[in-house]
A and B are shown apart, each in its own frame.
Chain A
Amino acid sequence: MKRPAVIAPVTLRACALVSAAGHGLDALAQALRTSRSALRPNDLSFGDAPALAGWIGAVPGADGVALPAALALPAGPWPGRAVALAWLGLQADGFAGALQDAITRHGAHRVGLVLGTSASTIAVSEAAYRAPAADGGFPPPLREPRFNTLHALADFVQVATGLQGPCLTVSTACSSSAKAFATGERWLRLGLADAVVVGGVDALGASLLHGFHALGLVSPEPCRPFDATRRGISLSEAAGYALLERGRGGIELLGWGESNDAHHMSSPHPQGLGAEQALADALARAGLAAEAVDHVNLHGTASARNDEVEAALVARAYPAHTRCSATKGLTGHTMGAAGIVEALACVVALREGFVPGSAGTAAADPALGEAFGERLQLAPAAADPRIAVSHSFGFGGNNAVLVFGRGDRV
């Protein structure tokens, strides 16, 4: 199969994150360094149903966020938890200031936005269906088309930041915000923008909790990726961003790969064919062999089949010295935001010189093989990673793999 040509690295000029671990990249770094899980028992309930069994990750302070009045539309203030998360993410890590600086340097029309989300503001529509207006339509504060469509979060971020460049929402389930990096790099390479904000936002809501429950994929306990006792996923939420620009320095995006399993809407290709192709393309664009990879942030959802397929890929694709971490036991599965959360986990590991462990995982499932067990990093450890890879594999068989590197790597 023909592999893509090597691309020039692009630099991550600024990054920001709010996750269940807390506000800011430092909160994630601290949790990763100590393998402190941010999961808690689910206490969210909707309609007439009791709270579902299971554990969730929730962003602290996401309730009652006050948005500036100037951002409101004539219909009212932007509603919903996902918008609150998108706003909190912009305020984290000095990101809003870095964005204004990019607008000053390049002009608002030259700064693009690619936002990954799976559920977007669907919780706003869900709320309207629970309490409709007398005419059967949406009640007035929610009766605004821009609040109730997939692109609402990117629309809000443009309103909140003044970005006027190309702007789209990528929605390919759990690979969404990983694929945002690919689109951002293409725009920079082709000259469609001089800076691109890539990121992802997803918030906990009824459709995600009940949807994954209906599929039988939610663990009644905190998720335990790759453990023999794993019983499914723990749902979570986050908002994260990275500002990409042409040039070198700091942490760089070196390559990306995208593929499709072409197998099944909600279960992975049994041989991991699509995932392996995405990895091969990502390494080809980075101009690297798998031997160069120091650290991998695994997709590692803790669903039985996903972990099995990914473990087999790890065992055959990476050398024994590559350290592989599964971080969803710490952050939970943030759906469309998983790509950005785990990209940023790679960023902090590269920047601060350690490899995260696999929170919640006591031991690698022996059934996944010795080679995988050797590569799985159970506890965080000081290290000197220079090249890190992040895996994101989603519903619809949609896969994305990202390669990051330290700008001072040799």
Chain B
Amino acid sequence: MSALGPLYVDGVALWAPSLPGWDVAAPALRGQAAAAPAASVPHRPAPALLAANERRRAPDGVLLALEVAAAAVADAGADAATLPSVFASAHGELAVTDAMCRTLADHPLLLSPTRFHHSVHNAASGYWAIAAGCHAASTALAAGPYSVAQGLLEAAAVALADDAPVLWVAGDSEACGPLASVNASRGLLAAALVLSPRPGPRSCWALALALVPDPAPPTAAASPAARALQANASAPLLPLFEALAGAGRADLQLAAGPQLGLALSLRPHVPARA
């Protein structure tokens, strides 16, 4: 009863400073090519959806989410204005949290209204909706170390409950300041999928999900490029994207709770000829 799917993967995107885009990431996640050298890559993504002044002001998490959301939607050939979306992030905007806590400790009356509205967990969801002109449902969620699995499960549930495609985004940023003593997330990493309950012309994979009580340990990332990103709180997404970069069927397990797993079954799908 706790199985969902299959859903069809219509669009794939991933961004990290060492893997700036799926074209670079896919071979690296297959272990075929080295990640981009650190010196040659931007520290933050620059999503084209935002105007230059908005890009300068936007926090890292918003930039990451918009970069991969736009890339996955383009890959799927989907209409950004109609897709419901699920944004999963374990910790949200860590740099904003650090700066806000610092101001509140020193001079609470100096807290800036912009910083406060950037601190809400649905900042990325809100900026995406505005940039995409999308009025469909959009959720922002967290589940600690299980945020990737619970976010993917929620996206699948949204798609199946309403029989409509959904955009799933997961990403986390780097803890800084005193917060870094209680938050181990480092670096930037985000990924996105467009998932559809029905196969379409761009569908390349069929993905089934199942909740598993008392699971075996989660699947570990295998490629050096993925292992180099393990310190990011969204790193649990990497084994799935290694499988999506490959060519064959894959069965994976993600940690979905203290005593709960999310089993993923990924099967290649050949789109029907139009």
User: Could you tell me the distance between the alpha carbons of A152 and B142 in the complex, rounded to whole angstroms?
Assistant: 10
Q: A264's contact among B130, B140, B151, by CB below 8 Å, is which?
A: B130
B139 contacts partner chain A, Cβ-Cβ < 8 Å: yes
A77 contacts partner chain B, Cβ-Cβ < 8 Å: no
Interface contact B121-A171, CB-CB below 8 Å = yes
Q: A122: which B residues are within 8 A, CB to CB?
A: 97, 101
What 0/1 readout, one digit per residue, does chain B (125-151) give for beta carbons within 8 Å of chain A? 111011011111111111110110011
A63 contacts partner chain B, Cβ-Cβ < 8 Å: no
A266 contacts partner chain B, Cβ-Cβ < 8 Å: yes
Q: B112: which A residues are within 8 A, CB to CB?
A: 214
User: Could you tell me the distance between the alpha carbons of A123 and B257 in the complex, rounded to whole angstroms?
Assistant: 25
Q: A34: which B residues are within 8 A, CB to CB?
A: none
Known A173-B122, A214-B111; judge A260-B138 contact (CB<8 A): yes
Number of A-B contacts (CB under 8 A): 239
A161 contacts partner chain B, Cβ-Cβ < 8 Å: no
Q: A410: which B residues are within 8 A, CB to CB?
A: none
A42 contacts partner chain B, Cβ-Cβ < 8 Å: no
B111, B130, B139 pick with most chain A CB within 10 angstroms: B139
Known A47-B106, A215-B113; judge A168-B141 contact (CB<8 A): yes
Interface contact A183-B160, CB-CB below 8 Å = no
B117 contacts partner chain A, Cβ-Cβ < 8 Å: yes
B162 contacts partner chain A, Cβ-Cβ < 8 Å: yes
Interface contact A190-B157, CB-CB below 8 Å = yes
User: Could you tell me the distance between the alpha carbons of A290 and B90 in the complex, rounded to whole angstroms?
Assistant: 39
B10-18, B29-37, B177-185, B238-246: which lies at the interface: B177-185
Interface contact A262-B144, CB-CB below 8 Å = no
B91 contacts partner chain A, Cβ-Cβ < 8 Å: yes
Q: B182: which A residues are within 8 A, CB to CB?
A: 125, 128, 137-138, 142-145, 147-148
Interface contact B119-A274, CB-CB below 8 Å = no
A177 contacts partner chain B, Cβ-Cβ < 8 Å: no
Q: A211: which B residues are within 8 A, CB to CB?
A: 100, 111, 113, 116-117, 119
Q: B179's contact among A148, A165, A261, by CB below 8 Å, is which?
A: A148
Query: Distance (Å) between the CB of A3 and the closest chain B CB?
Result: 10
Interface residues of A in 357-410 (CB under 8 A from B): 394-398
Q: A47's contact among B2, B105, B142, by CB below 8 Å, is which?
A: B105
B220 contacts partner chain A, Cβ-Cβ < 8 Å: no
User: Could you tell me the distance between the alpha carbons of A216 and B119 in the complex, rounded to whole angstroms?
Assistant: 17
Q: A190's contact among B92, B134, B160, by CB below 8 Å, is which?
A: B160
Known A172-B121, A260-B138, A396-B125; judge A151-B143 contact (CB<8 A): yes
Interface contact A396-B108, CB-CB below 8 Å = no
Query: Distance (Å) between the CB of B171 and the closest chain A CB?
Result: 14
Total interface residues in chain A, CB < 8 Å: 79
Query: Distance (Å) between the CB of A186 and the closest chain B CB?
Result: 4
User: Could you tell me the distance between the alpha carbons of A179 and B140 in the complex, rounded to whole angstroms?
Assistant: 10
Query: Distance (Å) between the CB of B179 and the closest chain A CB?
Result: 7
Query: Distance (Å) between the CB of B231 and the closest chain A CB?
Result: 13
User: Could you tell me the distance between the alpha carbons of A216 and B151 in the complex, rounded to whole angstroms?
Assistant: 34
B1 contacts partner chain A, Cβ-Cβ < 8 Å: yes
Interface contact B178-A132, CB-CB below 8 Å = yes
Q: B184's contact among A145, A173, A182, by CB below 8 Å, is which?
A: A145
Interface contact A171-B161, CB-CB below 8 Å = no
Q: A262's contact among B119, B130, B256, by CB below 8 Å, is which?
A: B130
Interface residues of B in 238-273 (CB under 8 A from A): 256-260
B208 contacts partner chain A, Cβ-Cβ < 8 Å: no
B50 contacts partner chain A, Cβ-Cβ < 8 Å: no
Interface contact A170-B181, CB-CB below 8 Å = no
Query: For residue B262, which residue of chain A has the nearest CB?
Result: A166
Interface contact B123-A137, CB-CB below 8 Å = no
B95 contacts partner chain A, Cβ-Cβ < 8 Å: no
Interface contact A172-B140, CB-CB below 8 Å = yes
Interface contact A125-B130, CB-CB below 8 Å = no
Interface residues of A in 173-199 (CB under 8 A from B): 173, 179, 182-183, 186-187, 189-193
Query: For residue B100, which residue of chain A has the nearest CB?
Result: A207
Interface contact A261-B129, CB-CB below 8 Å = yes
A158 contacts partner chain B, Cβ-Cβ < 8 Å: yes
B51 contacts partner chain A, Cβ-Cβ < 8 Å: no
Q: A166: which B residues are within 8 A, CB to CB?
A: 150, 153, 211, 256-257, 260
Interface contact B140-A129, CB-CB below 8 Å = no
Query: Distance (Å) between the CB of B3 and the closest chain A CB?
Result: 8
B213 contacts partner chain A, Cβ-Cβ < 8 Å: yes
Q: B109's contact among A49, A118, A171, by CB below 8 Å, is which?
A: A49
Known A172-B121, A207-B104; judge A186-B129 contact (CB<8 A): no
User: Could you tell me the distance between the alpha carbons of A210 and B112 in the complex, rounded to whole angstroms?
Assistant: 9
Interface contact B161-A190, CB-CB below 8 Å = yes
Interface contact A210-B140, CB-CB below 8 Å = no
Q: B160: which A residues are within 8 A, CB to CB?
A: 190
B43 contacts partner chain A, Cβ-Cβ < 8 Å: no
A137, A152, A216 pick with most chain B CB within 10 angstroms: A137
Q: A132: which B residues are within 8 A, CB to CB?
A: 178
What 0/1 readout, one digit per residue, does chain B (148-166) give for beta carbons within 8 Å of chain A? 0011011001101110000
Q: A207: which B residues are within 8 A, CB to CB?
A: 100-101, 104, 111, 116, 119
**Can you list 29 A-B pairs, Cβ within 8 angstroms, ordered by A?**
A46-B108, A48-B106, A49-B109, A109-B260, A126-B104, A135-B181, A137-B180, A138-B181, A138-B182, A148-B179, A149-B144, A150-B92, A154-B143, A166-B153, A167-B150, A168-B151, A168-B154, A170-B140, A171-B92, A192-B153, A207-B101, A207-B116, A210-B108, A213-B111, A215-B113, A261-B135, A265-B126, A396-B117, A396-B140
Contacts A165-B260, A259-B135, A394-B122 supplied; 7 other A-B pairs, CB < 8 Å: A125-B101, A130-B105, A137-B182, A148-B182, A164-B260, A215-B117, A260-B129
Interface residues of B (CB under 8 A from A): 1-2, 4, 84, 90-92, 97, 100-102, 104-109, 111-113, 116-117, 119-123, 125-127, 129-130, 132-144, 146-147, 150-151, 153-154, 157-158, 160-162, 178-184, 211, 213, 256-260
Rank and list the top 10 A-B pairs by shortest CB-CB distance, nearest first.
Answer: A137-B181, A396-B126, A211-B116, A258-B137, A171-B121, A129-B105, A151-B144, A260-B129, A191-B1, A49-B108
